[in-house]
Amino acid sequence: MIPEAKLPDGETIGVADLGVKGKVGRAKWNEFRNLVLGGIPVANRPKIWAECSGALSKRVPGYYADLVTRPSTDDDPAVISQIDMDINRTLTDNIYFRRGPGVHKLSEVLRAYARRNPEVGYCQGMNLITANLLLIMPSAEDTFWILCSIIEHILPRGYYDHSLLASRADQQVLRQYVTQVLPKLSQHLDELSIELEALTFQWFLSVFTDCLSAEALFRVWDVVLCINDGSTFLFQVALALLKLNEQQLLQCDTPAAIYTYINHQMTNHAISIDGLINASEGLRKVVRRDEVEARRQKAIDAEKQLMKEREDRNELRRTQKATTAPALVSEMTASAVPSPMPSPALGSENSGACSLGGGLTAEDILRSRTPVDEETALGLG
């Protein structure tokens, strides 16, 4: 049985060859898939995760060391500031991060990735993913390469960029599946005017690190990192969590009760880890990869169109203000009555740092990631 075999240093399990050699290959792949669903033994997780996630094939000798030792003068100050803020409040209940070397390694990996991918830089959620990887992987460098695979290969492109376009689109897709798979719960949420997307956004952005116990999380990651449909499995897990908690959620008769239950009691319900994985896997025929990708793209296209229309309206408004300004100045000059001009407000430049901190909720982030007009940006609209 592949995951139970001891893997000597440097030896791979040959996942790339599974499923590509006729009936025998497919049979081996199905066997491997069942073993992954059953849980990869802790001792074998580092090697199997590295190979199956694509981290092993991405790895370039010396590259990580070069990133770590690169001068910090070119680092985005906003990114570094957000990383420094977050690392000291990540997994503080774990002694490895409270008193051990975890904080230093976490900072090193996150800074290295920000240097590798300035377009993404850093986004909250990445700290939790990296910290949990550090608990499994033997080194910071091993963690770095799996983080690269998650962001650049397993999750959709642009999941952590400044717009968060793909990750926001996934919340719309999830809401569609809730309507389809859990119609009673969907209606209940609508009756209470609950925006489920604001509650589940961080589930996806953190790959469930913020709502599952470590043991359950690593079982979910076994599937996400080792099966080709990793990002699709996120929807299956989210739906399974909602389905397993449906009766409790239906008993919540106020928005506050729903928010409290989902944020604090969702995984306190007596759900076994095997039960969660089996319930998630049971949704595989309902949540199909091709359909998820089509729905995601449709949501992204619709959001892009809304952004364009909003920007067009803003541009029209700016043009109108520019054309009326000379007339206003002329009128003020003729009046000879002193009138103080408002001081221009300074907007912040777009940064590579994506923050969910500062008292912001996921709902705030979902809304703030779309362009706004000048009046709204200045707090006037």
Instruction: Give the C-alpha separation, 165 to 163, whole Å.
Output: 5
170 to 33, 285, 324: CA distances (angstroms)? 25, 18, 42
Does residue 147 lie within any of the structural domains? Answer: yes
- What's the whole-number mean pLDDT along residues 189-200? 95
109 and 240 housed in the same domain? no
249 and 374 housed in the same domain? yes
Per-residue pLDDT for 340 more than 60? no
165 and 87 housed in the same domain? no
- What's the whole-number mean pLDDT along residues 11-24? 64
Per-residue pLDDT for 144 more than 70? yes
At 300, is the pLDDT very low, low, confident or very high (cuts 50, 70, 90)?
very high
Query: Which domain covers residue 198, as residue numbers?
Result: 158-318+353-381
- Predicted pLDDT at 371: 44
Per-residue pLDDT for 60 more than 80? yes
Instruction: Give the C-alpha separation, 85 to 182, whole Å.
Output: 39
- Predicted pLDDT at 16: 56
Does residue 332 lie within any of the structural domains? Answer: no
- What's the whole-number mean pLDDT along residues 147-153? 97
Does residue 264 lie within any of the structural domains? Answer: yes
The CATH number of the domain where 260 resides is what? Answer: 1.10.472.80
Mean of all residue pLDDT scores within the chain: 84
At 349, is the pLDDT very low, low, confident or very high (cuts 50, 70, 90)?
very low
- Predicted pLDDT at 378: 36
Does residue 200 lie within any of the structural domains? Answer: yes
Q: Which residues contact 222 (CB under 8 A, 6 or more apart)?
A: 36, 37, 39, 40, 45, 49
Q: Which residues contact 191 (CB under 8 A, 6 or more apart)?
A: none
- Predicted pLDDT at 342: 45
- What's the whole-number mean pLDDT along residues 58-76? 95
Does residue 338 lie within any of the structural domains? Answer: no
At 362, is the pLDDT very low, low, confident or very high (cuts 50, 70, 90)?
low
The CATH number of the domain where 68 resides is what? Answer: 1.10.8.270
Does residue 337 lie within any of the structural domains? Answer: no
Q: Which residue has the higher pLDDT, 347 or 88?
A: 88
76 and 10 housed in the same domain? no
- Predicted pLDDT at 310: 86
Tokens of 317: 């408004």
At 26, is the pLDDT very low, low, confident or very high (cuts 50, 70, 90)?
confident
Q: Which residue has the higher pLDDT, 353 or 373?
A: 353
265 and 129 housed in the same domain? no
Per-residue pLDDT for 308 more than 80? yes
Q: How many domains does the chain divide into?
A: 3
- Predicted pLDDT at 355: 58
136 to 12, 41, 102, 256, 309: CA distances (angstroms)? 18, 11, 12, 36, 46
Does residue 341 lie within any of the structural domains? Answer: no
pTM: 0.80
- Predicted pLDDT at 17: 60
Per-residue pLDDT for 379 more than 80? no
At 368, is the pLDDT very low, low, confident or very high (cuts 50, 70, 90)?
very low
